Amino acid sequence: MLQTSAPLDLAFQALADPTRRIMVERLSRGPASVSELAQPLDMTLSAVVQHLAVLEASGLVRSRKVGRVRTCRIDPQAFHAAERWISERRASWERRLDSLGAFLDETAPRAKGRRRT
């Protein structure tokens, strides 16, 4: 019934780690080499490469090696899917709260009317 490796699973899983979010923050400001990504992180280059592999598997980041330098960049599509999922849920409960508000606006005067009689 449920796919465990669906794109959204991988995207949210990738974003659940603070190191990977730092890498994504860096890449949202522009492409970067693996060394540039590693620069602010207090860990080995090998650990950074592992985090990069998770980000690439999720589709959030793409990388390309030219000569000896691997350059990484954001791939917006997986981001949009994750953002859309959250904002659609929010829209759903906001619609419900709006309906509830409209219902209360409609019924409150009638309730007051009943109280007056």
- The amino acid at residue 64 is R
Stretch that binds a second copy, among 15-23, 48-56, 64-72, 109-117 (CB under 8 A): 15-23
Q: Is the dihedral of CA 13, 84, 4, 50 positive or negative?
A: negative
For 4, 94, 106, 111, the CA distances from 73, given in Å and listed in that order, are 26, 34, 52, 59
Stretch that binds a second copy, among 48-56, 63-71, 79-87, 101-109 (CB under 8 A): 79-87
Stretch that binds a second copy, among 49-57, 63-71, 85-93, 108-116 (CB under 8 A): 85-93
Cα-flanking dihedrals φ and ψ of residue 79, to 5°? -60, -45
Cα-flanking dihedrals φ and ψ of residue 3, to 5°? -90, 125
Kindly tell me which residue out of 86, 102, 104, 108 binds a second copy, with binding defined by CB under 8 A: 86
Q: Does 44 bind a second copy (CB under 8 A)?
A: no
Q: Does 77 bind a second copy (CB under 8 A)?
A: no
C-beta pairs of 92-100 under 8 Å, 24+ apart in sequence: none
Residues at the site binding a second copy, with contacts judged by CB under 8 A: 1-4, 6, 8-10, 12-13, 15-19, 21-22, 24-25, 27-30, 42, 74, 76, 79-80, 82-83, 85-87, 89-90, 92-93, 96
